[in-house]
Amino acid sequence: MSADPGLDEAVTEPNVFAHVQVLAEIGNQHGNRAVGTAGYEASAQYVERVLTAAGYQVTSQPFTLPHHREVSPAVLTTAAGPVDAATFAFSPSGRVSGPVQETGTGCLSTDWTGFRQGSIAVAERGGCSFRVKADRAARAGAGALIVVNSRPGELKGSLGEPGTPLPVVGVAQDAAIEGPVTVETNTTSTMKVTRNVIAQTGQGDPDDVLILGAHLDSVEAGPGINDNGSGVGVVLEIAEQMARMRPDRAVRFAFWGAEEVGLVGSTHYVKNLSAEEKAKIAGYVNLDMVATENHGNGVYDSDNAIEEAATEFYRLRGLSSEEVAFDGRSDYGPFVKAGIPAGGIFTGADSIKTPEQAAVYGGTANRVFDPCYHKACDTIENVNRQVLDVSADAVAYIVEQLAFTDRPVR
């Protein structure tokens, strides 16, 4: 390993927080930083400016994605009265009335034997994708499709992309669907062009690359400052400090678009890597929510050198940490699927903090880690600066351990 480069000392919380503040100002100005919006583009331009000023050559990687917006909530009226329903993403607009007909799961051609054209199909969740159910309903001549949840609670789903010709809604398991019914949806679906922003150190082996990444977009509900302005701020600060250092491995900094709508940007990036380019990536470190108000010190259970370095950092700091699910919910997912080692840290989202975790980390038990997760209140006030400070140091330590050496990440 190279001599201590001093990255962990160089990376400071005030510098990280300054980046987070700018993203918060962008979010305030535009309402959110969701993909396909002016807020997202302003965020991408800010990242470009910071990286360019630090001396990096910045690459913008464009990609297209389907974009769906619900103009007004679904309306489902039955013979017994109104029923709560959720419009599926990429359902078209429409207002259809007719008798109902149950179709089992709607996955098999035999489920549609004897289906009466113009009827409203009612299918059980499970057995196949929502898109398959919708496509079979359309071929059978259904006026609309109602999908019934297979477990308690409302059912929100997605058809994946535009193109389904009939309205599709989801209802709770105990919903009473008595015909005749009327289904009404009001949506827009378009294809949008957006981009990832990428830069790489000029120093270090370009054939042996460590990638450090964070998603740049928010949900439409709010500005997305813990999720994920916090991760972006840390990556930017590390990029600025590393511009003057000499790592053994080149370090690539990636800011992903469209994570919140299905890991679209990171998936596009990985799918467009050649086999030769994939082989040059030693590992990928992911930052998604690292300043959670009611936090925990989560380390992705990745069973590699990334997890080892993160766990070691917390131990050396005299802090507890715990393994958290490595289940593909963030931008590490496409890398793992491609056989590239990945990992990272995570301070909590929408799960409930247990009394045992509160005893270890402080905070409030029996309350969600981030009460503003995917909400309008995910503003600068939702950032725990003490947690942001520790997270920035943790990531700097991980990068020091993995970039200033050529030992395998696996």
> Both tokens of residue 281?
């990536």
* Contact assessment for residue 20 and residue 28, using Cβ atoms and an 8 Å cutoff: no
Query: What type of residue is 43?
Result: S
Nearest to 335 by CA among 346, 325, 326: 326
Q: How far apart are CA 84 and CA 74, in angstroms?
A: 8
- Return the C-alpha torsion angle 274, 280, 286, 287, nearest 10: -110
* Residue 328 Cα distances to 246, 295, 331, angstroms: 32, 21, 7
The CA-to-CA distance between both ends of the chain, in Å, stands at 17
Which listed residue (259, 260, 307, 400) is catalytic?
A: 259
Which amino acid would we find at residue 252?
A: R
Evaluate whether 398 touches 238 at the Cβ level (below 8 Å): no
**What does the CA dihedral 390, 395, 399, 402 come to, rounded to 10 degrees?**
100
At 10, is the secondary structure helix, strand, or coil?
helix
Cα dihedral across residues 334, 337, 340, 345: positive or negative: positive
Q: How many CB atoms lie within 10 A of CB 369?
A: 25
Q: Is 259 tagged catalytic?
A: yes
Helix (H, G, I), strand (E, B) or coil at 406: coil
Position 295: which residue type?
A: H
Question: Which stretches within 6-37 are classed as H helix?
Answer: 7-10, 13-30
DSSP line for 304-366: SHHHHHHHHHHHHTT---EEE--SS-STHHHHHHTT--EEEEE---SSEEPHHHHHHH-S-TT
Tokens of 261: 């709508």
Tokens of residue 354, six digits: 């247990």
Residue whose structure tokens are 């496409």: 334
Q: Which residues contact 257 (CB under 8 A, 6 or more apart)?
A: 35, 40, 44, 63, 194, 195, 196, 215, 216, 217, 264, 265
Catalytic positions, please? 259
